[in-house]
Amino acid sequence: MWNKISGSIPKEIGNIKSLELLLLNGNELTGSLPEELGYLPKLDRIQIDQNYISGSLPKSFANLNKTRHFHMNNNSISGQIPPELSRLPSLVHMLLDNNNLTGYLPPELSELPKLLILQLDNNNFEGTTIPASYSNMSKLLKLSLRNCSLQGPMPDLSRIPNLGYLDLSSNQLNGSIPPGRLSLNITTIKLSNNKLTGTIPSNFSGLPRLQRLFIANNSLSGSIPSSIWQSRTLNATETFILDFQNNNLTNISGSFNIPPNVTVRLRGNPFCLNTNAEQFCGSHSDDDNEIDRSTNSTLDCRAQSCPTDYEYSPTSPIRCFCAAPLLVGYRLKSPGLSYFPAYKNLFEEYMTSGLKLNLYQLDIDSFRWEKGPRLKMYLKLFPVYDNSSGNSYVFNASEVGRIRSMFTGWNIPDSDIFGPYELINFTLQGPYRDVFPPSRNSGISKAALAGIILGAIAGAVTISAIVSLLIVRAHMKNYHAISRRRHSSKTSIKIDGVRSFTYGEMALATNNFNSSTQIGQGGYGKVYKGILPDGTVVAVKRAQEGSLQGEKEFLTEIQFLSRLHHRNLVSLVGYCDEEGEQMLVYEFMSNGTLRDQLSAKSKEPLGFAMRLSIALGSSRGILYLHTEADPPVFHRDIKASNILLDHKFTAKVADFGLSRLAPVPDIEGIVPAHVSTVVKGTPGYLDPEYFLTHKLTDKSDVYSLGVVFLELLTGMQPISHGKNIVREVNIAYQSSMMFSVIDGNMGSYPSECVEKFIKLALKCCQDETDARPSMSEVMRELESIWNMMPESDTKTPEFINSEHTSKEETPPSSSSMLKHPYVSSDVSGSNLVSGVIPTITPR
């Protein structure tokens, strides 16, 4: 674990029939999962999470009859979840989140008899519904399916008696929230960013452990039952947050009083237009990412001092007890809670009981929530004060060994509320430095080097062979890496969640970068269509040799794209950084750019329903960047040529070479309203206030997206023959001639929908930042327009035919290369005044 081991996983590990623990998490492993791993009859725990593993899940894993923990999250695993995995009789934890899984959710997973945690967040089960059979998972404690492109109704989960954590947010679920009462053990309900309608059911009342109820950014209507928060009794360490923002809620039924430690968020609802209730409609800080450091006071011990490497034990019953602690980095990988302070005492009891220590020997030095969400903490373990012992200030060597083996051997009992854990580090400093002498293999033990911890000695000879094989592979990889480094860039790139390709793999995929595979060319370099050995079609963006701008753009795009996962963002598959080359590998978008589709004369034009669908998809991608990405991102170069269309005409936002991170809190916790930056972007799309003030905000992206909406409606380019699209449409709208500028190729359309779409687009393009809507408001209005559409239009757009749904298309000719989706054509601020920039007064 966490040893930076690289290379592929040797299939020979499948020969170690006595293997009980296979712990390879937190390394730099690549390649696919060997089928042979499915034939380990005693394997209890397989953890290969947080690597660069690709390929599919082998069906042979269905043979792991004794495996209880299956952790494959944070890789690049693709394909479907094999239904055969439902045959695992002992499985309690299935963690497959943050991969590239597709297909449908197997209903058969409901047949897993002991499953406690099913965590599949941030995958792309496009068009899939949540199987109704999941309501029968009687043992389930946690169900997390966030951002999985799921559709259809929300299932009734009231029959799961001990469900403690439910996250179905950031999907496309529709219909009403089921009326059945969820488990009394539930701590967290997250349903935000869906298409839910109807009212808020009263069954959310009377849930005694509920900490978070998030249903923001839906289309819920009616009244909010105040009994939801009035029925909760909270102690001083608990908080209860209810987020109902950006719905259509009009009233509160019952008392307006909010108990202490309760937060109710209602901004963006009609209710807040008719009331000045600040406690509901004001701005609220989000404490979901609370950070805490130990506040146990040792101020009364300042008259004394501890020796170096010793410190006061803040929880010891002996006043001012100096001792040498063991330092442990620890992470809860799938906790069943959202607010830790309320469970801190329970965690201390759980941990000390598992380690067979006294309660006062544990100090939680600090903790913080990480993306996932996962809970990372640093623990200090203090020895027992024993006056009869001559060595009462340190653990003896056998006790250190026992405690470490409790962590590394996964001997701490499982917890329903805290879920699976992982050991990040076990630091031995001060008097413990020589407790475990370093081995002769460069100070790395065999277990650490191989990433394998075994529960039996019988396979020692085979294990040694496997470890030797890994050592040889590591030395060979290091030799080749040193050789390559002589020719590559000075920057060593290690990025989670994307695959590292060799130069040879890229040359093979593109037929040695043959000109026949070239599909684009821009300032960054040439773009090639490539086919990987598994048949995956990709776009390979190859930096020009010696480009001073190339390395910076390369690093920027990788760092941004590798941590962004959404169905409406173009996915970064991987990268290549060797042989003096830098390449980015993207998913291939067979229908090109939105600009291509609007201007191509030879293709069947887009109808209004599809144009509105493209607007919705693009907006979802931008909304994700602004509100869900961690940290939030301002795109800075939204334009029609940066909105790509896949074989199903799903819109995906591309090209983050100009992106900027959104502002972060300063030392006082205040978040600035903007980022000051050198102006960059594309003429015709640029926010005029940003151009004049150099202050980039989320509303700068809204302006650019508004221009794209006008392109969708008119077919015009932002600047053409001296005319500016925003000005031209504004003039037509003010003159009651707005339908005169509608694209004649669009065919028939519902006029009331088009009129609302034009009004929204022009509102997005207001000169003043504050006059523009937020992305959440843009999404709500677009969904309102979509709901107005005739059902026949939204279900079966005329232009979707076999030609357009083909996965393979002939690459465009060289004459169209400059319009290709993977080509960036940004310019600096000094060259932007080529269109009509409205005059405004800088603030």
According to DSSP, the residues that pair with 501 across neighbouring strands are 576
Report d(CA 679, CA 690) in Å as an integer: 7
Work out the number of other CB atoms within 10 angstroms of the CB of residue 192. 24
Q: Cα separation of 491 and 502, whole Å?
A: 16
For residue 569, what is the DSSP state? B
691 and 832 Cβ atoms separated by less than 8 Å: yes
Token pair listed for 620: 């979802």
In a 10 Å sphere around its CB, with 0-12 CB exposed, 13-18 middle and 19+ buried, how is residue 740 labelled? exposed
Beta bridge partners of residue 541, listed in sequence order: 527, 584
**Cβ atoms within 10 Å of 659's Cβ, excluding its own:** 21
Tokens 């008392």 appear where?
Answer: 255
Give the three-state DSSP class for 550.
Answer: helix
Query: Half-sphere exposure of residue 308, counting CA atoms within 13 Å on the CB side?
Result: 2
- Of 707, 710, 786, 782, which Cα lies nearest the Cα of 741? 710
Q: Are 6 and 478 in contact (CB under 8 A)?
A: no
- The full 3-state SS of 401-460, as one line of letters, equals HHHHHHHHCCCCCCCCCCCCEEEEEEECCHHHCCCCCCCCCCCCCHHHHHCEECCCCCCH
Q: Is the dihedral of CA 241, 246, 248, 250 positive or negative?
A: positive
Marked catalytic residue, from 121, 243, 363, 637: 637
On whether 541 is known to bind a ligand per the annotation, the reply is: yes
What one-character DSSP code corresponds to residue 593?
Answer: B
Rounded Cα distance between 558 and 575, Å, is 8
The structure tokens 């695992």 sit at: 88
CA distance linking residue 110 with residue 85, whole number of Å: 11
- Cα-based distances in Å from 832 to 511, 680, 681, 729, 828: 39, 8, 8, 21, 7
637 carries an active-site annotation: yes
The answer to whether 172 touches 191, Cβ cutoff 8 Å, is no
Amino acid at 731: I
Non-local CB neighbours of 373 within 8 Å, separated by 6+ positions: 288, 335, 338
The b/e string for 391-424 (b: 16+ C-beta within 10 A; e otherwise) is eebbbeeebbeebbebbbebebeebebbbbbbbb
3-class secondary-structure state, position 122: coil
Q: Is the peptide bond before 259 cis (omega within 30 degrees of 0)?
A: no
SS3 276: coil
The angle, 0 to 180 degrees and rounded to 10, between the axes of the packed helices 698-714 and 751-764 is: 140
Annotated binding site: 541
Annotated binding site for ATP: 541
Residues with a known catalytic role: 637
